[in-house]
């Protein structure tokens, strides 16, 4: 029996049976890399109609429609899960009795300790009723939209009613002429963007649109002009009277042909909070995905680095067992054994340091003075500075304090300063210059040195990697820049480097300017 088969059986017998076998609302089972079923739970029997003895060993293609496109769809699902780690999809599936149901399916890849693919976990929910409800809701909404459009056209026919409606609307309403100049604003519009009804009339609509949104808004305006009556819904950023931009959802309808309106009607509402929440959710999702990737990489690296000293210890122990106590080589063997134990201890200490950064920080946000922080670091590494005749110059003119976790920031600054001293040019005293910059809603802290520089064409891809070093002649373990990157990201920022051989290196920390203010 292969190792993969043993591991699969272990998962099935010790975990799967205990955790999910009795779940009835979801079909949860394991399949091998080729899609053949390895396990079955009550939920699977309830949803699909097969008993375990009827289905284990069969390919999951029995749940799909019998056509070539569905077979391709099945293979695509497995390929997507293999590429991404997990993959969600929906579609029609077939029960044992031939009936169909709309399924929400999640495929998740499973690897063994050696990193070999052993199969997939497949979770299926029957959401047929939900799907039908959504379709019914869509039909109802379409009918409602049709009726609203008909009623709106009737309201527009009466100018007095139209004006009363838009003046008291929750949404803002702006009318544009054929040249996209503002010719009317509702009072509700003022409540959203601050512009009074008579302000900036005849101004071009593009003047109120964020520059980054301009290209697709121009395309939208062309479509609106060429498609009378048809509403176009779009989300974009609008300039508020106070000078900042707000996110709005707008509906543009070309009513230039209507003699009672003769304008392009823009209905819009403020969705800034909703959009910011979405951006934050997306950011968190991206961050979680990246952290999972970093954790996978870290696990592999630590595992790799643990194997060597463990193997050495095992081999040396066997050698000692087989040698005579008077053997002249025994002291050397004992010394090698002690060195292996020390290396193993160092790897474990590195693991502990990284896990401390990965876990939730217990420190509280506090006001950190950057000049004082640098002076504390200089005092702590005074002997290193004196030995290398190093100079540390700083100018925090743009800002001198940040509200953040001091422990993390101290570690980041110290690692970058020590790194610059270690990679000094021969016979040239190292000079490290630190300064701050405030630009475009971001704060920057630059660390510039006159050291030997880095060949970024060769080493940029693993400059911040764990145990990655680009100059073996310099003492170190390859932990410093890895820790800097992790801690910087934990503080909500990022780091990049610019460097040329023999011309020094500049590391730049970038954080949002929210760190300039005390948290509320």
Q: Where does the chain hold its CATH 3.30.565.10 domain(s)?
A: 360-520
The CATH number assigned to the domain with range 158-270 reads 3.30.450.20
Contacts of 392 (CB under 8 A, 6+ apart): 374, 378, 385, 417, 432, 434
**Phi, psi (5° rounding) for residue 163?**
-65, -40
Helix 480-490 to helix 406-422 angle (10° resolution) is 150
Q: Are strands 505-512 and 494-499 parallel, antiparallel or unpaired?
A: antiparallel
pLDDT digits (tens, 9 = 90+) for 271-314: 988 888 888 787 777 766 766 666 665 665 565 555 556 666 66
Q: Is 475 exposed, middle or buried (0-12, 13-18, 19+ CB in 10 A)?
A: exposed
Contacts of 155 (CB under 8 A, 6+ apart): 161, 162, 165
How far is it, in rounded angstroms, from Cα 186 to Cα 169? 8
How far is it, in rounded angstroms, from Cα 56 to Cα 343? 47
Which listed CATH number (3.10.580.10, 3.40.50.1110, 3.30.565.10, 3.40.47.10) goes with 360-520? 3.30.565.10
How far is it, in rounded angstroms, from Cα 51 to Cα 283? 43
How far is it, in rounded angstroms, from Cα 437 to Cα 431? 20
The sign of the CA dihedral 496, 500, 506, 507 is positive
Q: Where does the chain hold its CATH 1.10.287.130 domain(s)?
A: 271-359
How far is it, in rounded angstroms, from Cα 37 to Cα 124? 14
Contacts of 262 (CB under 8 A, 6+ apart): 177, 255, 256
- A 10 A CB-CB count for 292 gives 11
Which listed CATH number (3.40.630.30, 3.30.450.20, 1.10.10.60, 3.60.15.10) goes with 3-126? 3.30.450.20
Q: Which residues of 186-304 form beta strands (DSSP E)?
A: 231-239, 245-255, 263-270
The tokens for 250 are: 């707008």
Which listed CATH number (3.50.50.60, 2.30.110.10, 1.10.287.130, 3.40.190.10) goes with 271-359? 1.10.287.130
pLDDT digits (tens, 9 = 90+) for 205-247: 888 899 999 999 999 999 999 999 999 999 999 999 888 999 9
Q: Report pLDDT for 58.
A: 92
Helix 272-322 to helix 330-358 angle (10° resolution) is 170
Task: Give the pLDDT mean for 30-51.
Answer: 91
Q: Where does the chain hold its CATH 3.30.450.20 domain(s)?
A: 3-126, 158-270
pLDDT digits (tens, 9 = 90+) for 305-356: 555 566 666 666 666 656 655 556 566 666 666 665 665 655 565 555 555 5
Contacts of 464 (CB under 8 A, 6+ apart): 481, 482, 484, 485, 495
Task: Give the pLDDT mean for 433-459.
Answer: 90
């Amino acid at each position: 029996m292969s190792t993969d088969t043993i591991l699969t059986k272990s998962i099935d017998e010790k975990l799967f049976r205990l955790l999910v076998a009795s779940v009835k609302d979801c079909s949860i089972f394991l399949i091998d890399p080729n899609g053949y079923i390895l396990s079955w739970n009550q939920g699977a029997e309830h949803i699909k109609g097969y008993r375990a003895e009827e289905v284990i060993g069969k390919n999951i293609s029995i749940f799909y429609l019998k056509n070539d496109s569905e077979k391709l769809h099945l293979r695509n699902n497995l390929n997507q899960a293999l590429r991404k780690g997990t993959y969600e999809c929906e579609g029609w599936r077939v029960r044992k009795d031939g009936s169909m149901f709309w399924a929400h399916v999640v495929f998740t890849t499973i690897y063994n300790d050696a990193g070999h693919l052993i199969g997939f976990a497949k979770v299926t929910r029957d959401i047929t009723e939900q799907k039908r409800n959504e379709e019914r809701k869509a039909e109802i909404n379409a009918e409602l939209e049709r009726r609203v459009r008909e009623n709106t056209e009737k309201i527009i026919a009466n100018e007095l009613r139209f004006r009363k409606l838009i003046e008291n609307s929750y949404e803002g309403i702006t009318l544009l002429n054929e040249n996209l100049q503002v010719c009317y604003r509702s009072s509700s519009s003022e409540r959203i963007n601050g512009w009074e009804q008579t302000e900036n009339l005849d101004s071009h609509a593009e003047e109120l649109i964020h520059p980054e949104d301009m290209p697709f808004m121009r395309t939208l305006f062309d479509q609106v002009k060429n498609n009378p009556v048809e509403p176009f819904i779009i989300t974009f950023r609008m300039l508020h009277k106070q000078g900042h931009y707000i996110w709005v959802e707008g509906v543009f309808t070309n009513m230039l042909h209507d003699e009672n309106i003769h304008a392009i009607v823009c209905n819009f509402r403020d969705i800034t909070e909703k959009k910011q929440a979405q951006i934050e959710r997306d950011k968190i999702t991206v961050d979680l995905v990246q952290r999972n990737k970093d954790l996978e990489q870290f696990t592999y690296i630590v595992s790799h680095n643990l194997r060597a000293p463990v193997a050495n210890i095992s081999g040396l122990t066997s050698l000692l067992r087989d040698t005579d106590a008077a053997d002249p080589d025994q002291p050397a063997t004992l010394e090698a054994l002690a060195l292996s134990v020390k290396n193993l201890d160092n790897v474990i200490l590195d693991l502990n340091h990284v896990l401390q950064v990965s876990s939730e920080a217990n420190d509280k946000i506090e006001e950190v003075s950057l000049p004082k922080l640098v002076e504390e670091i200089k005092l702590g590494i005074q002997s290193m500075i004196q030995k290398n005749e190093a100079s540390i110059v700083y100018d925090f003119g743009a800002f001198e304090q940040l509200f953040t976790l001091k422990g993390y920031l101290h570690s980041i600054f110290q690692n970058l300063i020590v790194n610059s001293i270690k990679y000094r040019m021969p016979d040239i005293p190292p000079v490290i210059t630190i300064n701050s910059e405030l630009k475009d809603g971001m704060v920057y802290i630059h660390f510039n040195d006159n050291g030997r520089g880095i060949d970024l064409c060769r080493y940029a891809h693993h400059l911040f990697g764990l145990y990655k070093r680009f100059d073996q002649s310099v003492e170190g373990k390859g932990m410093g820049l890895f820790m800097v990157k992790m801690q910087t990201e934990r503080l909500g920022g990022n780091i990049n480097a610019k460097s040329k051989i023999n011309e020094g290196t500049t590391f730049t920390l970038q954080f949002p300017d929210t760190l300039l203010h005390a948290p509320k």
